[in-house]
Structure 1
Amino acid sequence: MRRFVSFFAGILAIILILWGISAGMTAQKDSGSTGKLVIYNWGDYIDPDLLDEFTAETGIQVDYQTFDSNESMYTKIKQGGTTYDIAVPSEYMISKMIEEGMLLPIDHSQITGMENLGEEFVDQSFDPANKYSIPYFWGTLGIIYNSSMVEEEPLEWEDLWKEEYRNKIMLIDGAREGMGIGLQTLGYSLNSNDPAQLQEAADKLYDLTPNIKAIVADEIKGYMIQEEAAVAVSFSGEASEMLDGNENLVYVVPSKGSNLWFDNIVIPKTAKNIDGAHAFITFMLRPENALRNAEYVGYSTPNNVAKDMLDEETREDQAFYPSGETLDNLEVYDNLGKELLGDYNDLYLQFKMYRK
């Protein structure tokens, strides 16, 4: 009997030891997940000092990783493997990720500072009531021109068709952007689903081909700074860098209509450090942090308290902080769905091939 008790006690001791090791490993794992925040963002899209200060304040270490397109970000999160606690996609991709169940709802009870955001930047069609995303930066699609190389300023999309700009325009390479310009020049929505309107927009683009010098992407910045072209179509964030590189460059937002884009903070469904993600959102909603971030990145902040703290020249620059009247004429890209987006892509590709 004594041997049996001794044997049983030994078995029990082994079980307790193994349980303790397992619990310790689990605790260590949990500690790691709550002690680190993995952020997936565009390259050079945050003031790195803010990340250090977030860690100093909260004790949460930050693993900052970058992507170069919404599509690559989507694919990486969809495939799994690396777990991200924070991501910063654009509006149309946010809509797609919501539809596919890839995002966690924001727990608004865990964050503060939403009142600092301008009402024009919240409750957008791609995320009503900001259930899944919080505005980070915003901007527009517009026209950059070299004041020393043009006689008449191109202020609206329709101006791009003028004979003066023959072989002088750099066009951003994107189906939504290209088709959107055609649609809005004709007075249609850049989210049109009318086949006749889409074909009319494509035909309008065909007429623009004599004025197009090149259809490019990131190369636009270098070309415009080096005065390789007189006019370009690109995004406000890219335009900000161009203006810094050449004092003759001017950026304008077509007042009759253009694209209003958003990059918002989201929490992927596979996130491990959910509390840390909410803490980071609150940290970035503070006006003083949003201000520093806007000054570092150079993009427009949706934080109106932070905007009021910018220097007067910046906050009153109509190119990067358009008037309410111009904002009313801007449209956000809707998630068109696979079939309709395919129609846009096909018509745009035909236009590019026609140009060649």
Structure 2
Amino acid sequence: MKKLQSLIIGILAIILVLLFSVHQLEKSTGMAGAKVLNIYNWGDYIDPALIKKFEKESGYKVNYDTFDSNEAMFTKIQQGGTAYDIAVPSEYMIEKMMVEKLLLPIDHQKISGLSAIDPRFLDLSFDPGNQYSIPYFWGTLGIVYNDKFVNADQITSWDDLWRPELKDKLMVIDGAREVIGLGLNSLGYSLNSKKDDELQEAFEKLKKMTPNIKAIVADEIKMYMANEESAVAVTFSGEAADMMWENEHLHYVIPSEGSNLWFDNIVIPKTAQNVQGAYDFINFMLVPENAAQNAEYIGYSTPNKEAKALLPKEISEDPQFYPSDELLSHLEVYENLGSDYLEYYNDIFLEWKMYRK
């Protein structure tokens, strides 16, 4: 009898171990059930309070992972190691993911609140008809300067970054498209140029900027500029808003030659395990009150016109972050360059970084 009891206890112990192992495996792969939503987004790109609110209202448990570049996000989704239900790539990467068939088409009948989106940010060239993506944030690339060290009339264009008085006082974002793009724009060329002579000319001009470069950094720019460790920086509009909130001497300028107009949209990767949860999250973020809360927290421009109406006027009427249609017409959206030219841009950028040393 004791042997039988021991056998039963042993079998029960094995079953418990197996159940625990299955649970841990499901947890590690993000497939612990339909009530789990796996989100892949840029770092510090949603108000944490909204995630808690969504979890409370929907009953979902949100697993939130972050990436620091479109390329890193693309590679991870392409490899399929984690089944993300939501991702937030930029426009040119959305186009690439569509080509690579990494996205599920959006069923617009399951979307509520799309009418709140400003028509200017719908049906754009990278995703006609918004077949695969829903607008999340938009913004620009520009220049931040500190008026304690630089006068306003000294920073109006990309060319001003080459001024000799900025020696060792300039920080730039660590991104190939951004740096090569500003070099191209400063010469009057498209930031999507596929002309080798234009790219080489931009590279040669950028080399002449290197004496002014203090650092090539990413998110750290916010801290450095807020702490007045540099006079001027090239960064995105939302990052600029954060800096300006912390330091009243900082100002943001969209260069007169033109610049990048970017869009980050929500997509559903083809490996998604909780598609209904993805739609629930998209609809939650389209609610004007939620979109407004997110925009005020993050500092980037919302494409949600009803949310914009809820923002304080000092935000919604600030032309630095909600520029006029005339200025918008001078800005360019990054296009998918194709693998060959994307590699070429990266090679030029890396060579420029090495030249600086």
**TM-score calculated relative to the size of structure 2:** 0.86
Q: Deviations over 1:282-328 (max 9, x none)?
A: 11111111111111222211101111111111111111111111111
CA contact (8 A) 1:169 1:211 kept: yes
Q: Which residue of structure 1 lines up, in the alignment, with residue 339 of structure 2? A: 338
What is the letter of the counterpart of residue 66 of structure 1? Answer: T
Q: Which residue of structure 1 lines up, in the alignment, with residue 46 of structure 2? A: 46
Segment drifting more, 124-133 vs 52-61? 52-61
Q: Which one has the largest radius of gyration? A: 1
Q: Which residue of structure 2 lines up, in the alignment, with residue 109 of structure 1? A: 109
**Equivalents in 2 of 1:334, 1:159: separation in Å?**
26
Q: Which residue of structure 2 lines up, in the alignment, with residue 129 of structure 1? A: 129
* Aligned residues between the structures: 328
**Equivalents in 2 of 1:81, 1:226: separation in Å?**
39
CA contact (8 A) 1:147 1:153 kept: no
Deviation at 1:32, TM superposition (A): 5.8
Q: Which residue of structure 1 lines up, in the alignment, with residue 17 of structure 2? A: none
Q: Which residue of structure 2 lines up, in the alignment, with residue 9 of structure 1? A: none
Deviation at 1:43, TM superposition (A): 2.7
Check if 1:208 corresponds to 2:209.
yes
**Equivalents in 2 of 1:95, 1:335: separation in Å?**
7
Q: Which residue of structure 2 lines up, in the alignment, with residue 171 of structure 1? A: 172
Q: Which residue of structure 2 lines up, in the alignment, with residue 100 of structure 1? A: 100
Q: Deviations over 1:161-193 (max 9, x none)?
A: 223323321122221111111111111110011
Q: Which residue of structure 1 lines up, in the alignment, with residue 315 of structure 2? A: 314
Segment drifting more, 168-177 vs 64-73? 64-73
Deviation at 1:47, TM superposition (A): 2.2
DSSP 3-state at the match of 1:171: strand
Deviation at 1:207, TM superposition (A): 2.2
User: Cα gap change, 1:214/1:110 in structure 2, threshold over 3 Å: closer, same or farther?
Assistant: same
Q: Which residue of structure 2 lines up, in the alignment, with residue 218 of structure 1? A: 219
- Matches for 1:148-167 after TM superposition, within 5 Å: 148-151=148-151, 152-167=153-168
Q: Which residue of structure 1 lines up, in the alignment, with residue 16 of structure 2? A: none
DSSP 3-state at the match of 1:261: strand
Check if 1:280 corresponds to 2:262.
no
Q: Which residue of structure 2 lines up, in the alignment, with residue 191 of structure 1? A: 192
Q: Which residue of structure 1 lines up, in the alignment, with residue 91 of structure 2? A: 91
**Equivalents in 1 of 2:351, 2:76: separation in Å?**
30
**Equivalents in 1 of 2:293, 2:79: separation in Å?**
34
Unpaired stretches in structure 2, ≥5 consecutive residues: 1-21
Q: Deviations over 1:166-225 (max 9, x none)?
A: 332112222111111111111111001111111111122122223222322233222212
Deviation at 1:245, TM superposition (A): 2.4
Unpaired stretches in structure 1, ≥5 consecutive residues: 1-24
User: Cα gap change, 1:128/1:247 in structure 2, threshold over 3 Å: closer, same or farther?
Assistant: same
Give me the CA root mean square deviation: 2.0
What is the letter of the counterpart of residue 162 of structure 1? Answer: R
**Equivalents in 1 of 2:256, 2:308: separation in Å?**
21
**Equivalents in 2 of 1:134, 1:242: separation in Å?**
28
Deviation at 1:40, TM superposition (A): 1.7
Q: Which residue of structure 1 lines up, in the alignment, with residue 264 of structure 2? A: 263
Q: Which residue of structure 1 lines up, in the alignment, with residue 19 of structure 2? A: none
**Equivalents in 2 of 1:231, 1:298: separation in Å?**
19
